[in-house]
Structure 1
Amino acid sequence: MFGPVGVGKTHVAQALGHLAIRLGANVRFAKTSRILADLAGGHADRTWDRRLRELVRPDVLILDDFAMRQLTASQADDLYELVSERQGRSLILTSNRAPSDWYPLFPNPVVAESLLDRLINTSHQVITNGPSYRPNKRPRAGGTEKTNKPSIK
């Protein structure tokens, strides 16, 4: 799921996760940067395999804010391993960037191509569009709330 900032991508991803839980699935939600930091810690303390297994285990894994910034070679390798190990299991990504803009974020073009081929060509892409919800959350004088509803295509 991708689109501009503030249109509700995280909200929709969490709603899908809640629905999956109601249907009996095990779901994990995390910011992509936190998952990468956790896996990096596993390299440092030699618990990487265990940490990866914990991320592979859930029926649905939701990675929020995917492709926010350039990745290190180690982060790209960790993402590749995670996506490869989860083959056939549900993965929801939210991103402010279109998938075509993800390639330059990877330092190794071979890893990028292999990982993104798995992600992009086996997925349903949901494009969200519209104005940000966040200005509507700002307190206003007199309590008047303006609503702008983003659309999902």
Structure 2
Amino acid sequence: MLKHPTLDQLNQLGLTGMAHAFSEMESNGDAAGLSHAEWLAMLLDHEATWRNDRRLALRLRHAKLRHHAVPEDVDYRSPRGLDRRMFEMLLKGDWIGNHENLAIIGPTGVGKSWLACAVGHKACRDNRSVLYTRLPRLIDELSLAKGDGRIAARMKSLARVDLLILDDWGLEPLDGNARHHLLEILEDRYGCRSTMVTSQLPVARWHELINDPTYADAILDRLVHNAHRLEMSGESMRRLSATTPA
């Protein structure tokens, strides 16, 4: 069958979603029973859906989320002290729009990283830019970037992202370079963007972790004072699932 000229025009204009819908409707005869307004509305709906899906896929690829976690799969029944009302409020993302921060705190294995990725996934759906990284890995990357002259570009990219997720905060004390890099990141983002951290350590111990009182005061002032806190407890979900009979 000859290619329809309208299909060619749609593709030339970059209206890929409409082109796909037009082709399908032409091949199965769905267009015959529609008015012009209904036909156009259906094409526009397909185009909007295609663009939203493509934008989300791009956001998720750039976010580099550790887990394929979505809000619909959050388990509120496990005994880990997850405040459902608070978490559902966090998923709405108003705190990101207000440039506030979030700390998810609890023992190992209770799902902090997974929940952080679920929040990140929802932020991507809301057309916000997200970046996930483990803090120890980020510190190593920044040390290398400083050595080869890429540090300014790397810090600029970290400052622009709407939601920066720093996983595994507090696994080891920070050295001088790490403290400096972390302060610069939080200074660039303070009041402009949102930062989320996950940690096994309670906030009261973060000061000693930073290992320098002057840096600790500056870092925590930019991170903690406007941060929501989601505090969890309980045994490791990995351990429980391993010991639960099938």
Match for residue 228 of structure 2 among 100, 124, 132: 124
Q: Distance in 2 between matches of 1:2 and 1:135?
A: 18
Match for residue 10 of structure 1 among 82, 101, 113: 113
Structure 1 residue runs of 4+, over 3 Å off?
none
- The corresponding residue for 2:29 is none
Deviations 1:79-107 (A, max 9, x none): 00001111121111000001110111223
1:144 equivalenced with 2:245 (yes/no): yes
- The corresponding residue for 1:26 is 129
TM-score after normalising by structure 2: 0.55
Q: Distance in 2 between matches of 1:10 and 1:108?
A: 27
Higher relative contact order (CA 8 A, sep 6+): 1
Q: Unmatched 5+ residue regions in structure 2? A: 1-103
Match for residue 75 of structure 1 among 178, 183, 193: 178
Q: Distance in 1 between matches of 2:148 and 2:188?
A: 21
- The corresponding residue for 2:200 is 96
1:56 equivalenced with 2:159 (yes/no): yes
Q: Unmatched 5+ residue regions in structure 1? A: 146-153
Deviations 1:127-146 (A, max 9, x none): 011111111343x6xx824x
Higher helix proportion: 2
3-state SS of paired residue (1:126): strand
TM-score after normalising by structure 1: 0.88
Give the residue type in structure 2 aligned to 1:94. Answer: T
Instruction: Tell me which structure has the larger Cα radius of gyration.
Output: 2
Q: Distance in 1 between matches of 2:241 and 2:131?
A: 27
